[in-house]
């Protein structure tokens, strides 16, 4: 009976940690969630360690340590919210450990993804919103809307092809920058296309990655902070390189 409880508890903890890590949650949230679930089930000496590619967890010194590798990390705030909700219900004794495992498997297997066309429209709206904040003119509105939407769409499609990091952002930025420059010439904006360029880039800036990296830094998770910060730095370099090449071409 005890062995069965150990197994189901470990499965719930690792599954919850896996979903959170794969969805872009910060390390402090993942480790705290796993620890609270363990305490709820009577394991007060649990030990867990999380980095950006795997989870290491043990219920106590007498239990075996299990390692779970994560292959891909994306940002999915909906899944993070659902896992948090399930863990709170479990620790409040509103659901059993078996019910929690069933709910977590349902969250893990569900796509919970937004349709690409909705993301593209949102990217365009975000771009024109930042254009307003940058003090852009109405002449730049259409160019910014198209550039932001198409650039984001290209990056999303290339990322779905499982291409390595840097390439999707690099290609998307070249296209995005080219559209902004050509649009500025077409609408006679001249060389003043800075606000439009900045606004168009904003939907692909790794803002969530930078935010969680800073949270990991404040929580003293230096390895995770370094990994996320370097990833954000590479993406930013890819965006800057793409814009620079588009500018040099046109």
What Cα–Cα distance (Å) separates residue 238 from each residue in 46, 54, 148?
A: 41, 26, 16
Q: So what's the pLDDT on residue 163?
A: 63
Could you state, in order of their start, the residue ranges of all structural domains in the chain?
2-109, 116-249
Nearest Cα residue to 171 out of 73, 243, 89: 243
What is the mean pLDDT, run by run of 10 residues, along the chain of 250 residues? Answer: 82 93 87 92 88 86 85 80 93 91 90 80 93 85 92 90 82 93 79 84 88 84 85 91 88
Q: So what's the pLDDT on residue 241?
A: 93
DSSP at 96: -
DSSP at 50: E
- Token look-up 């077409």 returns 186
Terminal-to-terminal C-alpha distance of the chain: 71
């Amino acid at each position: 009976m005890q062995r069965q409880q150990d197994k189901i508890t470990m499965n719930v903890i690792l599954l919850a940690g896996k979903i959170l890590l794969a969805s872009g949650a910060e390390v402090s949230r993942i480790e705290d969630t796993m620890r609270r679930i363990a305490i709820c089930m009577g394991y007060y000496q649990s030990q867990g360690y999380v980095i950006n590619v795997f989870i290491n967890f043990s219920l106590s010194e007498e239990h075996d340590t299990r390692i779970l590798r994560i292959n891909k990390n994306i940002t999915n705030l909906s899944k993070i919210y659902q896992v948090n909700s399930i863990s709170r219900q479990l620790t409040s004794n509103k659901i059993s450990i078996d019910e929690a495992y069933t709910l977590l498997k349902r969250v893990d297997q569900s796509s919970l993804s937004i349709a690409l066309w909705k993301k593209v429209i949102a990217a365009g709206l975000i771009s024109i919103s930042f254009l307003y904040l940058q003090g852009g003119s109405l002449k730049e509105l259409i160019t910014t809307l198209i550039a932001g939407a198409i650039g984001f769409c290209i990056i999303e499609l290339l990322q779905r092809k499982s291409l390595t990091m840097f390439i999707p952002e690099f290609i998307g930025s070249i296209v995005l920058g080219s559209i902004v420059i050509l649009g500025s010439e077409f609408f006679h904006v001249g060389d003043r296309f800075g606000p439009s360029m900045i606004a168009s880039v904003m939907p692909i800036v790794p803002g969530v990655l930078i935010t969680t990296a800073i949270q990991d830094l404040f929580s003293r998770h230096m390895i995770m902070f370094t990994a996320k910060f370097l990833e954000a730095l590479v993406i930013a370099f890819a965006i800057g390189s793409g814009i620079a090449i588009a500018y040099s071409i046109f």
